[in-house]
Chain A
């Protein structure tokens, strides 16, 4: 309060205070002369004046204060009034704090991920390059990875870009420096770092000549990795490190790039051979580029479209129907997170609205008690606007209080949010509470305070305010303007709560449906891990197969292990999609052939993953390297190409891997390869070929145990080390975790919506109850009279309840309309449940009606219990 004192004591204020004190003093002197005691003299003088504050108020009104002083005065007054009712102030701050807090938390995330531009120089010119695959073979996929030769042709022929770069990410084994370690490596062309604006802090970046073989392979370390692994030693420049069993010369250190590739530890030169540069049909690389200044995205897309057309004509076998897509990098990064974040933003806005409505209700109830005071101030000369201003200031003070509480809560809550989002949130480490969030919170705090107090303030200073000065009980304002506002508030609270409940309900059902989907395999109790063999150490196919055979053997020998095997990738993680030439089907160009999911398991894989074998046999050790080629197909593949016939004994060719046809020896159940929410269809058509026949260097092992798979971690690592002590294992996870991940954002969105809906429901219930309790209290006299005249309690009860239910029912109606709009926004998150699912809607409607009934019953019942004589007497 001392602070405000500084602003209050302008010359004008001081003079006014002095004049009033002088007036009082003169009057007191007269009174003392008339024989009163000093205390009595002062008292009478103040009464005759009509109140010191009131006089000052009227005077200031007349004077027309500069806006700031007026504002400060209003705020001081507001604070003082609130201090007098600590219960109300507490309630108001908590209610607003809740509403504001959740908004701040979500806004922090939205601000960092969606609004804030990427932290690269000229970020608006940085774009992502994709292929658009032919929809006939890759239905539903709108983008696809790049192939080397296509990218190089784009680079040579396009004039829309200032720089272009291609890169691949992976985990390579770093050896020769103590413990072997799997490090995150991005190997890319020379322009990769310059596009991101990453400048070396020591040494240099890559040179264009290093994109091709010929010179030594070079590496650039990321700063974080350089400090932890090499102790920040500058002499590491010029040293040779061994990655993937190949030598790389360290030529520079760069700061770790933010946002994109922020997990990088080492950048490696591309050093492609002519053979690698000519690969056109294998799409496994990513591309980014920087537009020339002034070139629009549309122009770049048109440019690449024209080039793609030319390439299609030149290379029809590989490029038929392969197009190109250019997307701004920021939009590209948030493509999956955008929708759920917007839904959340909408949801918290609704919660804040409900909080404001609740507070408005509380203020109406409370200021009704102050009606006399306000009317008297009107009589002293304060204009209606001034009084409204003062009430608004009170609201704003509450808003700011709520804002502080909310901001603090959000500050700590943001970490919880980030953890809940997990990997699904792009740019997660940029999510911090900073200045824009603070301004946002301040703004909504003030606006919330204004909104909450506006209706009560306006209502209270209107014509009906006169009634407050009349002596005697109020007439029961449920019919008056005040009652109307109350009803509007209840209606809106009910509507908003209903909306959120419908959203949460639908999501809950979606999740239940999703979790009920049969993935085609048993994900429980299976531990997985990835092993990437360094190609320089395991140069022959035999050595690679031998390694994995030994590992699988060692895994099977572990106690608690029921079965073990390996496969190139487990479902819902990686894998490849390839063209297949089926016996008896027309012979076509590669890119026109049908595509299937391809996986390369070892014998025993189907048993470990519990994928049912419906016909024929599993692979055996006899199907080894160099032996006749065999495959196993899934039911969908059989249905698609061999409908009605027996596929066993027929042949298919996986042309991308080998020209030799392979004999079908078995048929297995379909497996959801892309995710639980993938629509049933061709994405389940799979062809399995024995891993040993292709002698892969990388595989995922799967180990089934009786109990918790994570407990096996140590023994599994030991088993692998027993075969090769230097081989690290990557990404050890349970299969269940992998499947859970395919649920995407839904679990998080559901949890949050359910939390908000519960909050909204509580607020709405409290709101309905308090409004109705107050209305009933106002009508106590009427109730007393009716009862004295002999009306039965039950009839009265019914009358009051029905009266009270009217706003609830209207609210439900309104809520249904709004909910219909909300579900359209949520459509992409739903699964297995229709947008307008009658079950969910009915349950929610019944719930809201039940809440309304309960909220009215309690006060109504209490009213009818009161002795009519007592109520009639208590005026």
Chain B
């Protein structure tokens, strides 16, 4: 795959991670989401925080999240995101999808070892 093509796959997984993070944290700004994803993966995932913003825009364009300007804990102005109802539904769907895919793959990989 070229670098350009790898991106498409990456964007998909990143979106799901953002949605899950928002489901857990409620409202959060971009920086906060990035930090949280980093923590959740226990440091195994080290991404450029910048890749988050196009992902957030896409989710907003698809109506899965909504945004609003507000003030952070240390009094900084920031844009906050939160899940919409459609967003919640998407999480359920995507989570199921992932579980199925990983089950199939596990079976395959286990099968090859025989």
Which chain A residues have a beta carbon within 8 Å of chain B's beta carbons?
15-16, 18-20, 22-23, 25-27, 29, 48-52, 54-55, 58-59, 61-63, 375, 378-381, 383-384, 463, 465-466, 469
- A52 contact set on B, CB distance < 8 A: 50
Contact B48 A384 (CB under 8 A): no
**Are A381 and B54 CB-contacts (below 8 A) given A19-B30, A23-B31, A26-B76?**
yes
Q: How far is the CA of A49 from the CA of B50 in the complex (A)?
A: 5
Contact A381 B7 (CB under 8 A): yes
Q: What are the 5 A-B residue pairs with the smallest beta carbon separation, nearest first?
A: A50-B48, A55-B50, A50-B50, A62-B54, A26-B31
Q: How far is the CA of A15 from the CA of B67 in the complex (A)?
A: 12
Contact A49 B76 (CB under 8 A): no
Q: How far is the CA of A20 from the CA of B51 in the complex (A)?
A: 12
Contact A26 B72 (CB under 8 A): yes
Contact B54 A378 (CB under 8 A): no
Of B7, B29, B31, B79, the contact of A379 (CB 8 Å cutoff): B7
* B95 shortest CB reach to chain A, Å: 24
- A55 contact set on B, CB distance < 8 A: 48, 50-51, 53
Of B51, B74, B78, the contact of A381 (CB 8 Å cutoff): B51
Contact with A along B46-69 (1 / 0, CB 8 A): 001111011001100100000000
**Are A379 and B3 CB-contacts (below 8 A) given A23-B31, A29-B74, A61-B54?**
yes
* B5 shortest CB reach to chain A, Å: 10
- B72 contact set on A, CB distance < 8 A: 26
Q: How far is the CA of A16 from the CA of B60 in the complex (A)?
A: 14
- A25 contact set on B, CB distance < 8 A: 76
User: B106 on the interface (CB 8 Å rule)?
Assistant: no
15 further A-B pairs in the complex, CB-CB below 8 A; given A62-B54, A465-B2: A16-B53, A18-B79, A26-B31, A26-B32, A26-B72, A26-B76, A29-B74, A49-B49, A55-B53, A58-B54, A63-B57, A375-B3, A378-B4, A380-B48, A466-B3
Q: How far is the CA of A380 from the CA of B3 in the complex (A)?
A: 9
Q: How far is the CA of A313 from the CA of B78 in the complex (A)?
A: 102
Main secondary structure of the interface of A (DSSP, over half): helix
- B29 contact set on A, CB distance < 8 A: 22-23, 26
Q: How far is the CA of A61 from the CA of B54 in the complex (A)?
A: 8
Q: Total interface residues on B, using CB and 8 Å?
A: 25
Q: How far is the CA of A665 from the CA of B11 in the complex (A)?
A: 106
* A378 shortest CB reach to chain B, Å: 5
- A18 contact set on B, CB distance < 8 A: 77, 79
Q: How far is the CA of A22 from the CA of B58 in the complex (A)?
A: 20
Contact B4 A22 (CB under 8 A): no
* B60 shortest CB reach to chain A, Å: 10
Of B2, B53, B57, B78, the contact of A26 (CB 8 Å cutoff): B78
- B79 contact set on A, CB distance < 8 A: 15, 18-19, 22
Please name the residue on chain B nearest to A27 by beta carbon.
Answer: B31
Q: How far is the CA of A22 from the CA of B76 in the complex (A)?
A: 7
- A375 contact set on B, CB distance < 8 A: 3
Q: How far is the CA of A62 from the CA of B7 in the complex (A)?
A: 12
- B7 contact set on A, CB distance < 8 A: 378-379, 381
Contact B53 A19 (CB under 8 A): yes
* B9 shortest CB reach to chain A, Å: 12
Q: How far is the CA of A466 from the CA of B6 in the complex (A)?
A: 12
Contact B4 A384 (CB under 8 A): yes
* B93 shortest CB reach to chain A, Å: 22
Q: How far is the CA of A51 from the CA of B74 in the complex (A)?
A: 24
Q: How far is the CA of A379 from the CA of B8 in the complex (A)?
A: 10
Contact B49 A463 (CB under 8 A): no
Please name the residue on chain B nearest to A61 by beta carbon.
Answer: B54
Of B2, B32, B48, the contact of A48 (CB 8 Å cutoff): B48
- A15 contact set on B, CB distance < 8 A: 79
* B3 shortest CB reach to chain A, Å: 5
Q: How far is the CA of A469 from the CA of B57 in the complex (A)?
A: 29
Q: How far is the CA of A29 from the CA of B32 in the complex (A)?
A: 12
Q: How far is the CA of A16 from the CA of B32 in the complex (A)?
A: 17
